């Protein structure tokens, strides 16, 4: 059995402004770094074999903070774990999108990556990780939309309608030729004391 902890990166300034980030390369904000430290403390209670991450800064920085706590120095960067491409929507808020393209803006193309493309790309990355770490325990730090689309492909019966919270953990496992999800969008570590 291979066990994978899927992690959404810590918060950014654009998260707080409710701006679509897509593949724009934004750093964590101070709260995002604190969230990552709390997550790292939670993950340090278990043994992990490897860490993979999107090469976008908000995910790779989250992964480095986790790796520092776990004593895992090598972070495997995989561009397939990047967020879904947002096209012309990147950098805009909902109000700005409505003002520019109308209330039905989400029905327009606007150069956004299609959900199915994200499912294929994310699933391929996770399946490659399983091949690299048979019976391993792996942390994957990525982004909300790509993770949800990946889960749609791997665990089709899973309800992924709830958006993933910053630094949330979703646990999946590959066992007897099928994927199981035992935990979705859990961020109880953020309720912990800020003193690490």
Q: Is 10 annotated as a binding residue?
A: yes
**Catalytic site includes residue 9:** yes
Distance from C-alpha of 47 to C-alpha of 40, rounded to nearest angstrom = 12
Helix (H) and strand (E) counts in the chain: 6, 6
CB 168 within 8 A of CB 137: no
The pLDDT value recorded for residue 195 is 46
Q: Is 9 annotated as a binding residue?
A: yes
The pLDDT value recorded for residue 176 is 85
**Of the residues 34, 83, 90, 113, which is catalytic?**
83
Q: Is 8 annotated as a binding residue?
A: yes
Q: Is 15 annotated as a binding residue?
A: yes
Closest CA to 56 of 30, 29, 77: 77
Q: Sign (positive/negative) of CA torsion 122, 123, 126, 128?
A: negative
> Helix, strand, or coil here: 113?
coil
Question: Does the reported pTM lie above 0.75?
Answer: yes
The pLDDT value recorded for residue 187 is 96
**Catalytic site includes residue 83:** yes
Q: What is the pLDDT along the chain (196 residues), one digit of tens a residue?
A: 999 999 999 999 999 999 999 999 999 999 999 999 999 999 999 999 999 999 999 999 999 999 999 999 999 999 999 999 999 999 999 999 999 999 999 999 999 999 999 999 999 999 999 999 999 999 999 999 999 999 999 999 999 999 999 999 999 999 988 999 999 999 999 997 554 4
Give 2-191's CATH code, choosing from 3.40.50.1240, 3.40.50.300, 3.40.50.2000, 1.20.58.1610: 3.40.50.1240
């Amino acid at each position: 059995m291979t066990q994978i902890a899927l992690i959404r990166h810590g918060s950014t300034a654009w998260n707080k402004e409710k701006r679509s980030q897509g593949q724009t390369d934004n750093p964590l904000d101070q709260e995002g770094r604190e969230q990552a430290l709390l997550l790292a403390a939670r993950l340090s209670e278990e043994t992990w074999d490897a860490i993979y991450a999107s090469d976008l800064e908000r995910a790779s920085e989250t992964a480095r903070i986790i790796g520092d706590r776990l004593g895992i120095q090598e972070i495997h960067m995989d561009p397939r774990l990047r967020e879904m491409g947002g096209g012309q929507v990147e950098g805009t808020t909902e109000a700005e999108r409505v003002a520019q393209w109308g209330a039905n803006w989400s029905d327009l193309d606007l150069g956004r990556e299609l959900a199915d493309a994200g499912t294929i790309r994310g699933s391929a990355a996770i399946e490659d990780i399983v091949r690299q770490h048979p019976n391993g325990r792996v942390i994957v730090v990525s982004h909300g939309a790509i993770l949800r689309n990946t889960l749609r492909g791997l665990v089709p019966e899973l309800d992924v309608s709830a958006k993933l919270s910053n630094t949330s953990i979703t646990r999946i496992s590959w066992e007897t030729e099928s994927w199981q999800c035992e935990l979705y969008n859990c961020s109880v570590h953020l309720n912990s004391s800020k003193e690490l």
